[in-house]
Amino acid sequence: MNFDFTDDQEAIKRTAHDFLAARYRSETIRALAQDERGFTEPQWHELVQLGWPGMIVPEPHDGLGLGAVELVVIAEEMGYALAPSPLHSNTCAALLLIAAGTEDQRRRWLEPLARGELRGTLAVWDEQAGWAPDRSEAEPTGRALTATKIAVPDAASADFLIVAGADGRHYLLETRDPSVQIVAESPLDPTRKLFTVHLAAAPVEPLADRPERVAQAYATIVTALAAENVGVAQRAMEMAVEYAKDRKQFDRPIGAYQAVSHRCAQMLLEVESARSLSYWAAWALDHEPDSALRAASMAKAYAGDAGFRVTASSLQVHGGIGFTWEHDLHFFLKRATANAHAFGDSRWHRDRVADLTGV
């Protein structure tokens, strides 16, 4: 069996790597981290031209019709570049519309999203109930929804929200409605903007009740996050190795000392293990849906822990300079930590793996 990427997937990976490296240099990331929106419209339009907003959207709905493997390829490169962008939150909204949107909703919201004309995001976290969609506090009353959602990515720049309700259903609403109030938060990761969304009897459209397909959508979301953490960890490891080659103590590169070389070897082990799990989960989502939920949670749990451990180890290899604001490493540490908690932390996903395997 051939486990390599296809030629098309390799081409997507090369294009993404080169494009993101050219567009998101250190000074650009730092500037966007301090910007209120976290991205610019010209940057977004470049992603639109590449077709990335619609990469996972089926072709009949104006998308590229690519699979989870291609999504993971791009997500990994986005993490490697630490690109500040609403692409992930937009993809979350697209996946929920694909899974549970009605034909009319797909025509009015999914197709413009795939073309880059509209942006969406997904609101799941509640103030008290946590992130799980089936334990949301958002209680719909007829066609109106009153709730407070926290940690909603890119809400201020989105045209519509998909909100998880207390009944396990999902609801679509426009952000420009006067019943919607969006307040900026101070996130751990300044390269991914988060917002609190207050809904006061906001008019909503219910999505269809398709729990199995919605579960697959969430599995795809967490797999993409796992892949993004792989890219973050890969970059942090490379930074550590380069520094260990250049930095000298007692006229020897510090990488020659076992305390440093063993730490770098452990980083490689964790990065490659997380990558293998992420790729397996993506393959399962495309070709073996019966094992996809378990594979996705395994990838998210491992990559969440590995992302933090690798970036923290890289910081240790860098020594004092790694702890400074002027060094870029803290951005990678913060992204890895934030990703580890988004859509369920490692403990939650390990419990889910146990449930799915009947342990």
* Residue 39 per-residue DSSP state: S
140 confidence band (pLDDT: 50, 70, 90): low
The residue count for the chain: 359
Distance CA 311, CA 337 (A): 9
| Domain ranges, ordered by start, for the chain | 7-115, 120-206, 211-356
Distance CA 110, CA 207 (A): 12
Residue 302 has which token pair?
């491992």
Say if CB 304 and CB 286 are below 8 A apart: no
Compare 208 and 2 and report the one with higher pLDDT.
208
Q: What's residue 2's pLDDT?
A: 64
Topology at the third CATH level for domain 211-356: Butyryl-CoA Dehydrogenase, subunit A; domain 3 (1.20.140)
Compare 84 and 248 and report the one with higher pLDDT.
84
Is domain 7-115 in CATH 3.40.430.10, yes or no?
no
**Which whole number is the average pLDDT over 105-124?**
97
Assign 24 to helix, strand or coil: coil
Residue 1 has pLDDT above 60, yes or no: no
- Token pair 């690109």 is at which residue? 83
SS (H, E, C) 324-348: CCCCCHHHHHHHHHHHHHCCCCHHH
Find the range with the poorest average confidence among 19-33, 165-179, 264-278.
165-179
Q: What's residue 323's pLDDT?
A: 85
Distance CA 213, CA 60 (A): 18
Q: Return mean pLDDT, the chain.
A: 93
137 confidence band (pLDDT: 50, 70, 90): low
The per-residue pLDDT for range 25-67, each reduced to its tens digit, is 999 999 999 999 999 999 999 999 999 999 999 999 999 999 9
Q: CATH assignment of 120-206, given 3.30.930.10, 3.30.200.20, 3.10.105.10, 2.40.110.10?
A: 2.40.110.10
**Which whole number is the average pLDDT over 74-92?**
97
Q: What's residue 6's pLDDT?
A: 92
Which distant-in-sequence residues (6+ apart) come within 8 Å of 233 by Cβ? 267, 270, 271, 274, 303, 306, 307, 310, 311, 336
**Which whole number is the average pLDDT over 91-117?**
97
Q: What's residue 251's pLDDT?
A: 81
Give the containing element (helix H, strand E) for 197: strand 194-203
Q: What's residue 167's pLDDT?
A: 79
Say if CB 230 and CB 305 are below 8 A apart: no
Q: What's residue 257's pLDDT?
A: 86
What CA–CA distances, in Å, run from 196 to 85, 125, 153, 181?
18, 10, 9, 8
Q: Whole-model pTM?
A: 0.94
Q: What's residue 341's pLDDT?
A: 95
Distance CA 273, CA 270 (A): 5
The per-residue pLDDT for range 297-344, each reduced to its tens digit, is 999 999 999 999 999 999 999 998 888 889 999 999 999 999 999 999
Quick one: which of 237, 234, 228 has its CA closest to 299? 228
Compare 139 and 112 and report the one with higher pLDDT.
112
Which distant-in-sequence residues (6+ apart) come within 8 Å of 247 by Cβ? 253, 254, 319
135 confidence band (pLDDT: 50, 70, 90): low
Distance CA 211, CA 208 (A): 9
Residue 10 has pLDDT above 90, yes or no: yes
